[in-house]
Structures are given as structure tokens and as C-alpha cells.
Amino acid sequence: MQKPRVVLKFIWMEKNIGLALDQTIPGHGTIPLSPYYFWPRKDAWEELKVLLESKPWISQKQMIILLNQATDIINLWQLSGGDLS
């Protein structure tokens, strides 16, 4: 049986990018763990970090992986200027 996973979700827009966390439970669906944090309106990366630190069941290794993924996506969004094409 698979373990529950924490996944990073994104909303890619022209002027903002939204980041959120969900927990997927195999066979049962998805549970939202956070609202969407929008960058550059606010420091979405920092808000995500604070949320992850408040969840003691998320390991330090998992937290680093998720924050690195968020950094990669934010950087990609910045380089593209919000344009997916």
C-alpha cells in the first residue's frame, strides 16, 4: 500500500504564480493543507516555509525537496514572464 504524499500545486498566471500544498492519500483522494500563496504579491516561498515548519509530520528532507521545487517553479515563471508558450 502506498503512503500518503505531500504535493506542491501551482496556478500559473500572467502576473502571479500561486503555490499550495495538498496531501494525497492513495485510494481516498486529496486533502488541501494550505491556501494558495501568490508570488510576487507576497513572499509565497516564505509563507510556504512557515506552513511546512508548522507540520511536524513533514520531515526536514521532504520540506527541503518541496521548497526547492517551489524555488525552481518560481524561477521558471520569472524567466518566462508568466508566458507558458
Model pLDDT for residues 19-71, shown as the tens digit of each residue = 999 999 888 899 999 999 998 888 889 999 999 999 998 999 999 999 999 99
Name the grid cell of 50: 512557515
C-alpha span between 14 and 56 (Å, rounded) = 34
C-alpha span between 40 and 22 (Å, rounded) = 21
Which phi and psi angles does 35 have, rounded to 5°?
Answer: -75, 175
C-alpha span between 48 and 58 (Å, rounded) = 13
Which DSSP letter does residue 34 get? S
- In order of their start, the domains of the chain are 5-83 (3.30.390.140)
Q: What's the pTM value of the predicted model, to 2 decimals?
A: 0.85
Which DSSP letter does residue 32 get? E
